[in-house]
Amino acid sequence: MLELKEKLENVAEDVEEIAKTYYRLSVLNIVDKGSKLGSSFLILALVTGLAFFIFLFIGFGASYWIGHALGNPMLGFFIVAGFLLLVLVLILALSKKTIQPLIRNIIIKNLYD
């Protein structure tokens, strides 16, 4: 009877140790995923900021160039603004079926990598 009681105590201790190890492993996995996700968002923010300024300066340059070529600087700005408005309308039209699923898949892929 004593042997059975000792074996059950050993099993209980082993189960407790396994549970603690599993908990620690889960915490490490969560920290790993969080750090990967955080670094991905930081890189995305930096790239987005740089892309904003690149497009801003390209837009100003194109506006001045088109305006100078047409002899009317305001017309160059209106042409570039019209082009950007067209791009915005295309993005909004494609966002539900194309852009949102693409972004969703990228986020899910980053979470499970």
State which H helix or E strand residue 79 sits in: helix 73-94
Read off the pLDDT of residues 1-20 as tens digits, 9 standing for 90 and up.
667 777 777 888 888 899 99
Q: Tell me if the pTM is above 0.85.
A: no
Read off the tokens for 10: 């050993």
- What are the residue boundaries of the structural domains of the chain, listed by start? 2-112
Read off the pLDDT of residues 45-54 as tens digits, 9 standing for 90 and up.
999 999 999 9
Q: What is the chain's length?
A: 113
